[in-house]
């Protein structure tokens, strides 16, 4: 028995430390952005929804519909406060919202394990070799520490500090960036190992509430990601600007080659001042996130 409408929602995420290295088995830390959400609404259609490999939403809808052995006579509507392709996990959030909407539409119960499995399948279309970090964090209301293939744990901390998230306005290219690192072959190994070590130091800094130490490892991670070739000129410029304006640390976040940067500051007031400055210098949007 189907309903006339199916609705699903998800929040987004950001990677604090460990992007790219996580693909190779090093740890990564990501935090949920619960205020940034995607809602998918499905209604009946007399036309069949057609697969579009470049579209994570349609891919996720069809993955879920085919799991339920239904025919996709559906049309969709999406409302989102997550900017697309900016390294904030929009493809994972969209996939989770879409799969929830499909199960709601067909009145089927959905376990978290199945939701995660179907979203991971859809994410493979968005970029070939996803670590699973995005989906896991979009499913969580706590920060996630993940080692691919080994498992994850949730992290609790309260640094009393703030992250300024600044959007370069340039589409991030996760698939291309992941391929670029792969193409480096063994030359990437020492850099990936350094990123892994920096993530472990970040975990330690979080556990003792040391924002200065966290800032330092964030900036060090940005330098490594830049050397790996996955940053971009505008991200580098916004990172440099953040540091010049007193940020404790700053780095790109997510797949890169565009997308967003994150800068750590101690107080909300400093965050507001920095966000304004970054917008004056070309960031197309900024958000504040308490850490």
196 binding ligand PMV? (CB under 6 A): no
Identify the DSSP state of 54. Answer: T
Touching ligand PMV, residues 201-260 (CB under 6 A): 254-255
168 binding ligand PMV? (CB under 6 A): no
* Six token digits for residue 106: 């067909």
16 binding ligand PMV? (CB under 6 A): no
CB of 141 to ligand PMV, least distance (A): 18
**Which value, in Å, is the radius of gyration of the alpha carbons in the chain?**
19
Give the CA diameter of the chain: 60
Q: What SS3 class is residue 125? A: helix
HSE value, Cβ hemisphere, 13 Å, CA-based, for 175:
10
The residue from 11, 20, 41, 251 that contacts ligand PMV (CB under 6 A) is 20
The residue from 63, 131, 168, 194 that contacts ligand PMV (CB under 6 A) is 131
H/E segment holding residue 96: helix 90-105
H/E segment holding residue 43: strand 28-44
The residue from 42, 63, 106, 134 that contacts ligand PMV (CB under 6 A) is 134
Closer to ligand PMV by Cβ: residue 176 or 272: 176
Q: Which of 171-188 are b and which e, b meaning 16 or more Cβ less than 10 Å from the residue's Cβ? A: ebbbbebbebbeeeeeeb
Closest to 104 measured CA to CA, from 83, 137, 76: 76
Closer to ligand PMV by Cβ: residue 42 or 147: 147
Closer to ligand PMV by Cβ: residue 6 or 258: 258
The residue from 87, 196, 249, 258 that contacts ligand PMV (CB under 6 A) is 87
89 binding ligand PMV? (CB under 6 A): yes
23 binding ligand PMV? (CB under 6 A): yes
Tokens 């490999």 sit at which residue?
53
* Six token digits for residue 143: 């920060």
Stretch that binds ligand PMV, among 14-22, 49-57, 97-105, 194-202 (CB under 6 A): 14-22
Stretch that binds ligand PMV, among 137-145, 171-179, 218-226, 273-281 (CB under 6 A): 171-179
* Six token digits for residue 172: 């991030």
Chain contacts with ligand PMV (rule: CB under 6 A): 15, 19-20, 22-23, 87, 89, 130-131, 133-134, 172, 174, 178, 254-255
């Amino acid at each position: 028995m189907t309903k006339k409408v199916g609705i699903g929602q998800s929040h987004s995420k950001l990677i604090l430390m460990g992007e790219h290295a996580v693909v190779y088995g090093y740890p990564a830390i990501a935090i949920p952005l619960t205020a940034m959400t995607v809602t998918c609404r499905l209604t009946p259609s007399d036309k069949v929804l057609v697969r579009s490999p470049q579209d994570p939403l349609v891919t996720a809808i069809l993955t879920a519909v085919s799991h339920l052995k239904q025919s996709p006579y559906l049309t969709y509507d999406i409302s989102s406060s997550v900017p697309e392709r900016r390294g904030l996990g929009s493809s994972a959030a969209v996939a989770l919202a879409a799969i929830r909407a499909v199960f709601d539409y067909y009145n089927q119960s959905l376990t978290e394990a199945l939701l995660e499995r179907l979203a991971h399948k859809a994410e493979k279309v968005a970029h070939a070799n996803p670590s699973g970090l995005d989906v896991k964090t979009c499913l969580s209301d706590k920060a996630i520490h993940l080692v691919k293939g080994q498992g994850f744990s949730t992290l609790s901390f309260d640094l009393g500090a703030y992250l300024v998230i600044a959007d370069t306005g340039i589409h991030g290219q996760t698939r291309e960036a992941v391929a670029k690192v792969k193409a480096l072959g063994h030359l990437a190994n020492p850099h990936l190992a350094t990123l892994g070590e920096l993530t472990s130091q970040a975990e330690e800094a979080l556990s003792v509430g040391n924002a200065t130490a966290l800032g330092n490892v964030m900036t060090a991670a940005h330098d490594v990601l830049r050397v790996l070739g996955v940053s971009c000129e505008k991200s580098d410029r916004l990172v440099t600007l953040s540091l010049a304006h007193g940020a404790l640390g700053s780095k790109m976040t997510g797949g890169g080659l565009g997308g967003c940067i994150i800068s750590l500051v101690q107080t909300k007031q400093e965050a507001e001042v920095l966000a304004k400055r970054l917008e004056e210098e070309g960031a197309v949007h900024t958000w504040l996130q308490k850490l």
